[in-house]
Amino acid sequence: MAPININQMENLIDTGRFICKESFLQNNPTKNLLEECTDVVAYANGSYIQVLKSGEFYVDDTFKSRSLDEAEAKLLEKIDK
């Protein structure tokens, strides 16, 4: 894992908001969420993390975690690519 820019990480975290799946889809009708998604953590830059029924945070097909901190770090790494 590449070193994380703390300022970028704090900026991302500060904009994250939990939203129920239905509300997220009303505002983002073209997004495809997993069936087992119950909620979404949406960020000001348009990125998001799905919250699954299992309690895991889903970033993409390659990463999910029970830790939101880990998921946000992975999301930031993905954004920076």
Would 50 be classed as within a structural domain? yes
Q: What pTM value is reported for the model?
A: 0.90
Would 26 be classed as within a structural domain? yes
pLDDT digits (tens, 9 = 90+) for 4-39: 678 888 888 999 999 999 999 999 999 999 999 999
Burial of 74 from C-beta contacts in 10 A (0-12 / 13-18 / 19+): buried
* Domain coverage including residue 60: 6-80
Would 1 be classed as within a structural domain? no
pLDDT grade for 79, boundaries at 50, 70 and 90 = confident
How many structural domains does the chain have? 1
What residues does 37 pair with on adjacent strands? 52
Three-class secondary structure of residue 48 per DSSP: strand
pLDDT for the residue 18: 98
Instruction: Look at residues 22, 12, 14 and name the one whose alpha carbon lies nearest to residue 59.
Output: 12
